[in-house]
A and B are shown apart, each in its own frame.
Chain A
Amino acid sequence: MLFYSFFKTLIGHQVTVELKNDLAITGILTSVDQFLNIKLDEIRVVDDTKYPHMMAVKNCFIRGSVVRYVQLPASAVDTALLQDAARREAQQPTTAAAHTMNR
């Protein structure tokens, strides 16, 4: 849930989603879910001469599994807090061993 939580804070910011087929789409992040499926608005394909069929598309839904990268605005990321969140996530009881320890 860490990255779901993380992406929620980026809603409204411009991001560039790079897909595994090398298509890169820049747009405003409008929503995200726990599978990290992504909805973008006001989209623009980075290399639109290569993908002319995307010209007419104004917004899109991207299945999380086809994403390779998401380029983010660094100013919208609190790295120290993000590290803390990652540490907390790492401590969440995920293994059988951890389950025997109650909090």
Chain B
Amino acid sequence: MSDSFFGFDTTLPPLDSDQLTGLGETIGGQKDEIEEEELESKFKGISLDSGEDFEVYDDERDFCLDTQLEETGDDYNDETFGQVGDIGQDFDYTESTAKIVNTIQKEEEIYVNRRESSNNSENVDEPNKRRPSYAALWGNDSNIIVNGHSPPLPEPPISPSIWGTFHPPSNRKDSLSLVQDGTIPQRYTPPQTSPLPPGFGLSSNRMPMTLEEIEAQLIKQAGLPEKKMLSLAEVEAAIMGINGRPQQLPIHATSEAAYRDQETIAYLEQEALREQEALMYRERKRREKQRKLADMSRYNGLMTQSDKDWINKIQISQLVTDDPYADDFYFQVYSAIRNRQTQPHMSAFSPHGGAGFMGHERRHRSRGSESGLLKMQQQVLRIVNDARRKPKLTQLSLEGALGKIALNSVRNPRQLLQVSSKHNETHHHTGPGSGNHQQHQKIPSISSHGIIDHRKVLRSIENVYTAVLALEELRRNQPPLPRPYVDHEREAIEKWNEEYTELAKTMWEELRVTEMIGVSYPHPFISILSVAKGKKVIPRVLRHCLPDQILTLITMLVANFETLDVCKGAIWGTQGVVSPAMLDEVELYMNTVVPPLLQFVAEAPMRIVLGLFGLFVERNNIVWVARSKVGLAFLTMFLSRTEILKQGGGAMQGLPLPEERELSQWQEIYNRLFSLLQNHFLSLFPPFNIGIDDMYVWQFLAAMAVGASTDQQHILVTEVRERVLDTVIQATRLANDKSSSHKIANVNLFLNALGLDASQLKI
């Protein structure tokens, strides 16, 4: 077998030889290398360039050797190796390599040697030192110095390489023998005439002095007979060489050197000492580093890359979830809202809890720059799912271990209180079918009897929120409409429908709309509406309600209207005191509860509107309720809707004109309302000049005026005449003010309904 067959070109990177010799051998070889180099540096005191210390960090190349192997291009393997049968990936490296073990060893030796020579390429004097003849060496060196080095004059730092020559290397037998054997090709021994690489001076400067060398110097300085003639001669020769003087014979140089200035020598000595100290320090540091590296290198290769990847994934999975809305809800939705607001086409809907856009946003999130994140999420998804499938234990007791290991996390902190929840337990037993939603467990039972105190109301509201949030999340995750004959899609949508219906039912029950009237006061649903967050949840609730549920809700509201906080608490008396907090509540009610109900009524047929209208007038103290803004708003709502229907406006919605019976029913209700409010129309207004916008009253009066008979119109005008005049007078005074035109517009709402206009008024 020839070397060339295996492609053993020693100029190839070390990886190739590693691959072929196998994992174990490579590591062993490396270790030998390290030891060898360590020894070498110890004896010669040569500091290696720290940049190319060892390969202890190069652990990547030890992994996945099989995957790096070329699996192609081995068509002629059988021909070459003989029939070896099927070759899998479970290579027996030692068996294969045994065949070529001799070559490998040789190659390795060459490789080691080559590495050293390349490592020490800066110290090109090294191979020279291995030469048996020092004279030849020096002759060579001086030539080199002359050729490649032009040191400064007149006081150059001495090249410590001269000291090194006192102690020729003693541990270089292997390479030395190779050199002597001629095994190493000629190119590995630098040609004697070749100029030094530029690094020569630098690395040779690092040569430390030994005690003997210093001694020699001292002896020489004291003028004592020189014990080491040759050494001294060499010292001086080196000095000569550095000084750029041609050097014929060592002896001659010595005699010349004897007359040299003592100061130069003293200087050189000091320099050398200082340098040596620095070198020793550096050497110590290097050894320390080396020792640490060697120490750590024991653990090299303990983890494969896939191990590391696995751990990375676990760590990432702690941070990334498959559903960013679970842990990062606020940020995700807030950002989505902000993004939408910067876009020109804004939805008219309030952003709060808008179920539609979140799903939309979600579908478009995985684009462009975020594809990397998506990829990672996909990778992590499996781990997350696995973790989810396993029950999250708070404690783990290993077999044979004393005590328990706590498995706490951000999600799952150590529990300081262990309150056994009876409610939850009973729930598990009684409701296995409905136990699919954790929300159920959050919904405590509330007695349907007795007085409902504030906390219970709050609890009801929070339960409604829980259900609404769950419903909104379900809406976001609504599966696509099933394609025909795709069973799992059909099943998915059926399952979804089931869950949705169940949750919507829960929500509806928590609203407590259907509870008996009169059992508690106020009615539980009215109590919910009396809390700010109860009002806020209504629009979100109604999105998940069926039409007849909404009707039930409005009916309940209308029937109990006077018990509403925003009704009973916001009635303008003659003194006109309504607290600012209550005014806020009224505004909130007008902005949250009224719009969806208004929308419902605006689509309802005459029969239903009349039913609600009649109930409202009948069940409530109208004179009282009408003095509240919300009460008037409801009355206006009914009046305007019935008026539209009377005039055939329902045709757009496919509704027929009201029947005769309905019209007479309407007239009946209207007359009843009018007679109730007669003599009280002026009291509907909030006190004049307290900064309350009375537009809603004018709107109501307009709605009344439209349906009024001539007599009724006359009564209306007579009653509110004073207010009309006051307002117009005030508006005239504030002619330049913005509020002026608004006030006139308010009055005109009413006057126009009567066929009049504020401008016709003569004040």
Direct contact of A and B (CB under 8 A): yes
A5 is an interface residue with CB less than 8 A from chain B: yes
Kindly identify, within residues 415 to 466 of chain B, every residue whose CB is under 8 Å from any CB belonging to chain A.
415, 421, 424, 428, 435-439, 441-442, 462, 465-466
The reply to whether A5 and B327 contact each other, CB–CB distance below 8 Å, is yes
Assess whether B334 is in contact with A87, with CB atoms less than 8 Å apart.
no
Report if B490 contacts A (CB, 8 A).
no
Map CB proximity to B onto A46-80 as digits: 1 under 8 Å, 0 otherwise: 00000000000000000000000000000000101
Chain B residues numbered 150-197 whose CB sits less than 8 Å from any CB in chain A: none
**Residue on A with the closest CB to B333?**
A81
B351 in contact (CB, < 8 A): yes
Contacts of A21 in B (CB 8 A): none
CB-CB under 8 A from B334, the residues of chain A are 9, 78, 81
B327, B337, B353, B441: the one within 8 Å of A1 (CB): B327
Main secondary structure of the interface of A (DSSP, over half): helix
Is the beta-carbon distance between B428 and A100 smaller than 8 angstroms?
yes
B421 and A94 contact, CB distance less than 8 A: no
Residues of A within 8 A of B465 (CB): 84, 87
Within 11-54 of A, Cβ neighbours of B (below 8 Å) are at 34
Q: Mark B301-341, 1 if CB is under 8 A from A, else 0.
A: 00000000000000000000000011111111111010000
| Shortest Cβ gap from B703 to chain A (Å) | 32
CB pair A5–B441 under 8 Å, yes or no, is no
How many chain A residues sit at the interface, stated as a range, is 20 to 34
Q: How far is the CB of A75 from chain B (nearest CB, A)?
A: 12
Contact A5 B330 (CB under 8 A): yes
Distance to closest chain A CB from B589 (angstroms): 16
Name the A residues within 8 Å of B412 (CB-CB): 94, 99
Instruction: Report the minimal beta-carbon distance from B444 to chain A, rounded to whole angstroms.
Output: 13
Q: Are B330 and A2 in contact (CB under 8 A)?
A: yes
**What distance in Å separates the Cβ of A36 from its nearest Cβ neighbour in chain B?**
12
- B46–chain A nearest beta-carbon distance, Å: 46
Given contacts A91-B439, A101-B438, contact A82 B330 (CB under 8 A): yes
Closest to B395 in A: A96
What CA separation (Å) do A85 and B352 show in the bound complex? 11
User: In the complex the two chains form, is B394's CB within 8 Å of A5's CB?
Assistant: no
User: Does B337 contact A78, Cβ atoms closer than 8 Å?
Assistant: yes
B327 touches A95 (CB 8 A): no
Report the Cα distance A4→B469, complex, angstroms: 21
Chain B nearest CB from A38 CB (Å) reads: 16
Partner among B353, B413, B428, B438 whose Cβ is within 8 Å of the Cβ of A84: B353
- A95's nearest neighbour on chain B, judged by CB, is B415
B488: chain A residues at CB < 8 Å are none
Contacts of A97 in B (CB 8 A): 421, 424, 441
> Is B533 at the interface (CB under 8 A from chain A)?
yes
Contact A1 B466, beta carbon cutoff 8 Å: no
Residues of chain B within 8 A of A84, CB atoms compared: 329, 352-353, 465, 469
B435: which A residues are within 8 A, CB to CB?
Answer: 101
Known A9-B334, A82-B330, A99-B392: A91·B410 in contact at CB below 8 Å: no
B331 touches A8 (CB 8 A): yes
Chain B residues numbered 330-361 whose CB sits less than 8 Å from any CB in chain A = 330-335, 337, 351-353
A89, A91, A101: which contacts B466 (Cβ < 8 A)? A91
Contacts of B328 on A, CB cut-off 8 Å? 1, 4-5, 8
Contact of B441 with A88 in the complex, beta carbons under 8 Å:
no
The reply to whether B331 and A91 form a contact with Cβ atoms under 8 Å apart is: no
Answer whether A80 and B411 are a contact pair too, CB < 8 Å, given A5-B331, A96-B394.
no
Q: How far is the CA of A100 from the CA of B276 in the complex (A)?
A: 72
Pairwise interchain contact A78-B351, C-beta atoms closer than 8 A = yes
Q: How far is the CA of A94 from the CA of B394 in the complex (A)?
A: 10
Q: A101–B326 Cα gap in the complex (Å)? A: 16
Q: Which residue on A lies nearest to B441, using beta carbons?
A: A101
In the complex, which residues of chain A have a beta carbon less than 8 angstroms from the beta carbon of B436?
Answer: 102
Contacts A81-B351, A84-B329, A94-B413: A9 and B335 contacting too (C-beta < 8 A)? yes
Report 25 cross-chain contacts, Cβ distance below 8 Å, ordered by A residue.
Answer: A2-B330, A80-B352, A81-B337, A81-B353, A84-B352, A84-B353, A85-B329, A87-B462, A88-B329, A88-B469, A91-B438, A94-B411, A96-B394, A97-B421, A97-B424, A97-B441, A98-B438, A99-B391, A99-B392, A99-B412, A100-B391, A100-B428, A101-B438, A101-B441, A103-B437
Sort A-B residue pairs by CB-CB distance and give the 6 closest, nearest first: A85-B330, A5-B331, A1-B327, A80-B352, A5-B330, A101-B438
